[in-house]
Chain A
Amino acid sequence: MTSGVATAGGTGARPWLAARGRDRRFWLVLGGILVALAGAVLGVAFGSVSVPFGDTVTIVVDKLLGTHLSTADAATQAIVWDLRVPRVLLAMTVGAGLAVAGATFQGLLRNPLADPYVLGTASGAALGAAIGLLIPLHFFVFGFGLSNLLAFVGAVVSITVVYRLARVTGLAPLTGLLLTGYAVASLLAAGLTMAMYLSGAALRQIFNYLLGSFEQASWERFAGALPIVLIASIIIATRARSLNGLLLGEQAAAHLGVNVERERPLLLGLASLVTAAAVTVSGLIGFVGLVVPHIVRLLTGPNARAVIPISALWGAVLLVYADLIARVVGDIPVGVVTAIIGAPFFLILLRRARTGYEL
């Protein structure tokens, strides 16, 4: 693919100057789509109740094309179309969103250890959800309960607070963001512990939320999450140029024509919105946002034009398979599965980082 050292002093187009592994990107995209489709099929075909594959196919075809091929009973149809299909779609949406958010935060903060939750989003969402479970107010709109709504609010409020506070510090913007994010997250975590302390019986529900799950997936939740994740991710993808400029730092980015004062809050806001939406529908699922962008970057180079969409694709793949495993093995929270898959990958990555990470 790429040849070795080229002779210096010559001119003319050289194959090695093509963006790293154009072939590779092609295979990553094609492979990702195929694997994702396979994952979707498997995800709809398998579950805690066994449904013959033929029935699965006819049910899906019926719903999509309005035909009446299926002979399955109403319960089976509901299982396939109302439970499994939205669950698979939601898992892919959340996986894609988390991967894009993770890639964006890593680029913005120039920190390879950043994940979507780095600026307090996770703690804010968890605290919001916990408070929602404690308040005896009852509320169920469009598939979302009070606890979901407060989780979203919590995520958005905490990132806003972090951003505002960070500007007040005298530190460089990125350092300020990271440190403030850490401080606010700690504060929120204390609040969460207090809420858990007071929760009594709701504790189990709070734990379930913290570990993440797609048990409550439904068409409504999918319809709620998809627009935010899709639109925000597309906008982020179109700002790939800014993300690339930021690779060498904010000063260098400014010299390369990036309007840092505008792009930084814009990208932060979009990535946080995506994270908040993901966390609202499925709780806190870790490792997707951290590991997927890294692996993609290893394979495609740091060009955000490739990293963002390919991370989205493979984030979707990871989560749809993780959820499938979680379901089939039985009642393991999906966050545990992603950790089991993600942690070894991450360790391998760290070993391969020859020169270590610089900030």
Chain B
Amino acid sequence: MTAAVWLDGVTVEARGRAILRDVSFRVEPGERVALIGPNGAGKSTLLRVIAGVLHPNAGRVELGGEPVGSMDRGTVARRLAVVPQQTALPFSMRVEEVVALGRLPHEDALRGAQPADRAAVAAAIDRVGLGGLLGRDARELSLGERQLVLLALAVAQEAPTLLLDEPTVHLDLRHQVEAMELMRDLNERDGTTLIAVLHDLALASHFFPRLLLLDHGRLVADGTPPEVLSDARIREVFGVSPELVRLAATRG
């Protein structure tokens, strides 16, 4: 089976420092993977490499079997949707207008949004549960609500793979869990391949069957949560007592 995402020996250097060192892994279609690691491990950089906006100094990146460097941006956008951490809005935009941007890769250049596009937007808004926010100015929403709008935008993009950069960072606990459940739903019901950068180890280990652990630019572990988050690992990579993590996980 062609991998949804395949990295081989990816190295990224900037200003003499190696941000990613020889990172290799495969993500099969339909998988749900969390990318974890301490700050500065290179998680966001890795996402950018996968999305094709950052070209590695060495190594190969393939999406669906094709090198991402050889694809034009439009093709990449139809294969991969990215949910960023946050985004600033200089102009007043309604929620549905923001979500409608997700249809850009599919829109006809000259004719713009067609009924099919509008249906996809409606479906995405329903899926993410934003119905109550329709017509609101996106700039007036809380950070958590805005996050959901960006998620709906990515869902509207109808790409087989979804990359999320810390999607729960502004949400309270309940909404974090809801977001996690939504992601699991997108993955299990729609078959969307999901790669999410998460900082919350408990949520990651609870909702994601596979974890990729990054430390100082290296992929130091790749497997199920118990495999990856061994006591030694937690102590060594995160520098905290494993009890803290374990405690949160058992509560779920």
What residues of chain A have their CB less than 8 Å away from a CB belonging to chain B? 2, 4-14, 16-20, 106, 110-112, 238, 240-241, 244-245, 247-249, 251-252, 254-259, 297-298, 301-303, 305, 353-355, 357-359
Contact = CB atoms under 8 A, between A and B. Distances in A.
B110 interface: yes
Given A255-B51, A256-B104, A16 B134 contact: yes
Given A245-B104, A249-B87, A301-B93, A256 B157 contact: yes
B175 interface: no
B102 interface: yes
Given A112-B90, A251-B53, A359-B88, A6 B104 contact: no
Contact of A111 (B74, B90, B96): B90
B105 interface: yes
7 contacts: A16-B135, A244-B104, A248-B101, A254-B51, A301-B93, A303-B112, A359-B90
B105 A257 contact: yes
Contacts of B96: 16-17
A249 B135 contact: no
Interface string B130-156: 111011010110000000000000000
A254 B90 CA distance: 18
A295 to B, nearest CB: 13
A254 B73 contact: yes
Nearest 9 pairs between A and B by C-beta?
Answer: A8-B131, A257-B77, A257-B74, A257-B105, A255-B82, A256-B104, A110-B90, A355-B139, A358-B88
B104 A305 contact: no
Contacts of B110: 238
Contacts of B90: 106, 110-112, 247, 357-359
Report the contact-size class of chain B (Cβ under 8 Å from the partner). Answer: 35 or more
A11 B122 contact: yes
A226 B234 CA distance: 68
A162 B113 CA distance: 35
Contacts, number: 126
A302 B135 contact: no
A8 B129 contact: yes
A354 B140 contact: yes
A19 B113 contact: yes
B94 A20 contact: yes
Contacts of B107: 241
A282 to B, nearest CB: 28
* Interface majority SS (helix, strand, loop, mixed), chain A: loop
B84 interface: yes
Contacts of A301: 93-94, 97
A82 B75 CA distance: 53
B163 to A, nearest CB: 9
B108 to A, nearest CB: 9
Contact of A5 (B75, B94, B131, B137): B131
Contacts of A298: 92
B93 to A, nearest CB: 6
Given A251-B53, A301-B94, 15 more contacts: A5-B135, A8-B130, A8-B131, A17-B96, A110-B90, A247-B89, A252-B87, A254-B51, A255-B51, A255-B81, A301-B93, A301-B97, A302-B92, A359-B88, A359-B90
A358 B105 contact: no
Nearest to A111: B90
Contacts of B92: 297-298, 302, 353, 355
B140 A355 contact: yes
B58 interface: no
A259 to B, nearest CB: 5
B53 A254 contact: yes
B126 A9 contact: yes
A6 B139 contact: no
Contact of A17 (B121, B130, B139): B121
A17 B89 contact: no
Interface in B55-92: 72-78, 80-82, 84, 87-92
Nearest to B72: A259
B132 A247 contact: no
Nearest to B110: A238
A5 B93 CA distance: 16
A13 B118 contact: yes
B78 A255 contact: no
Contacts of B135: 2, 4-5, 16
A245 B109 CA distance: 12
Contacts of B130: 8
Given A17-B121, A252-B84, A257-B104, A247 B129 contact: no
B119 interface: yes
B131 A6 contact: yes
